[in-house]
Structure 1
Amino acid sequence: MTTAPVSIQRPPAPPTQARGPGLRGLANNLGFLLPALPLTSAGLAVTLTLFATGVGTLIIYAGFFLLFGALYAGRGLGTLELTRLRSAGCDLGRPRWAVPGRPGIIGAIRTVLGSGQYWRFLLHGMLINPLVGIFTWSLTVTWLAAGLGGSTYWLWFRFLPGPHDNDWHISE
């Protein structure tokens, strides 16, 4: 029996990502999670205000311009979220934006109002991102505070009142 040499081809190494074990991955993940609450709160306030005002003023045609602004605000927030995800090591690619089909401002407004990508980013900024952002921010701050407080307990426990101190009790 003869043996023939077998060539084993290994897949190419994955690109170096920012996420990973260690302090570098911790810093990147915290850099993504900690600004989530202010960004989602501001994004929700802007997009929901523009959207609700735009829908309310559609009858006098000013609402089209406000909805156009709301969709562009949603696009900006969605692009910011994709940039934040990319910096945390999760590249989802870039969206394809619709090219205006008709000339002029009315053509641009009709193209934006008819584009599903704009509506997707707006709904993500108004519904998904605030819920996920508030939940993950709360969880991150809780675990970070518990971890830092628990690991440094040996340093600050002596400054807590002991069982012999009655300064913290209302009644004696």
Structure 2
Amino acid sequence: MNTTPSILSRLGRDFAFVLPGFFISLFAFVLLVPLFTLALGTAVIWIGVWLVPVVLLMATGFAELSRSRVRLWGGRIDQPGYRRGGAGVTGSLRYLTDPRRWLDLLFETLIAFPVRTFTFVVSVTWTAGGLGGATYVLWGHYLPRGEQESPLAAGMLEALTGGAIPDAVATSYAVESVVNFLVGVLFLLTLPAVMRGLALLDASTTVAALGAGPAQEYPLPAVARVA
């Protein structure tokens, strides 16, 4: 049974889940934090009191987007209940008494952004390392080379062989290309597992914070389960 299409499908799904999450969280962070800070600063003149419900509603909107992204990825997350506001200014103040909306604000500003920054950086770095190493032979000779610089491949070979390989061989472009190719292939082979772990970190954090209750199991897509 050919599992390559399944692996590539899961890899594409994980990429589509992890990468946009950083930009969504970045937008939520730069929008919600200044507005909430403004609301706190103007609470003494009552402007902030009316602004906080708006911030909470915006945070809930981002939280709903986070839940939708988990479901689209294939995970399971229960929809929590919210306290409804009422008409007029007094009704809008009811949002202030809803702990769920405060949790949405906490998650979208202080939890989601650091987590998704980490997953984004690791995914981009791992992918770039794999592709860059595997194709190093095509572009590596364009890099400037200083006389005092020791290529990475030469350092690795010297450490592994105790300096038994002559410097002329260890520092050659052919050897450097082979070493970088092997490292790149290793990164590419482990990329599906790394991306699955990053996607699970994002989804599990979202389920734990934004779900209706404790998760009964990891929010792993059904296509990835083993019977």
Aligned mates of 2:70, 2:36 — CA distance in 1: 25
In structure 1, what is the equivalent of residue 23 of structure 2?
A: 38
Question: 1:2-41 maps to which residues of 2 (within 5 A)?
Answer: 21-41=6-26
In structure 2, what is the equivalent of residue 169 of structure 1?
A: 146
Residue among 124, 129, 132 paired with 2:107: 124
Aligned mates of 1:87, 1:148 — CA distance in 2: 28
1:76 aligns with 2:66: no
Aligned-pair RMSD on alpha carbons? 2.1
Larger Rg: 1
Alpha carbons 2:70, 2:76 under 8 Å: kept:
yes
- After superposition, the Cα gap between the structure-2 partners of 1:107 and 1:21, relative to the gap in structure 1 and judged at 3 Å, is farther
Could you tell me which runs of 5 or more consecutive residues in structure 2 were left unpaired when the two chains were aligned.
149-227
State the Cα distance separating 1:110 from its structure 2 match: 2.1
Amino acid at match of 1:135: F
User: TM-score normalized by structure 2?
Assistant: 0.58
- After superposition, the Cα gap between the structure-2 partners of 1:121 and 1:29, relative to the gap in structure 1 and judged at 3 Å, is same
What is the aligned length?
144
Aligned mates of 2:11, 2:120 — CA distance in 1: 14
Question: 1:100-115 maps to which residues of 2 (within 5 A)?
Answer: 100=85, 103-115=86-98
Could you tell me which runs of 5 or more consecutive residues in structure 1 were left unpaired when the two chains were aligned.
1-19, 162-166
Aligned mates of 2:91, 2:138 — CA distance in 1: 62
Q: Whose RCO is larger (CA < 8 A, sep 6+)?
A: 2
In structure 1, what is the equivalent of residue 81 of structure 2?
A: 96
1:59 aligns with 2:44: yes
Residue among 142, 148, 167 paired with 1:160: 142
Aligned mates of 1:150, 1:168 — CA distance in 2: 17
State the Cα distance separating 1:88 from its structure 2 match: 1.2
Higher share in helix: 2
In structure 2, what is the equivalent of residue 137 of structure 1?
A: 120
Amino acid at match of 1:42: F
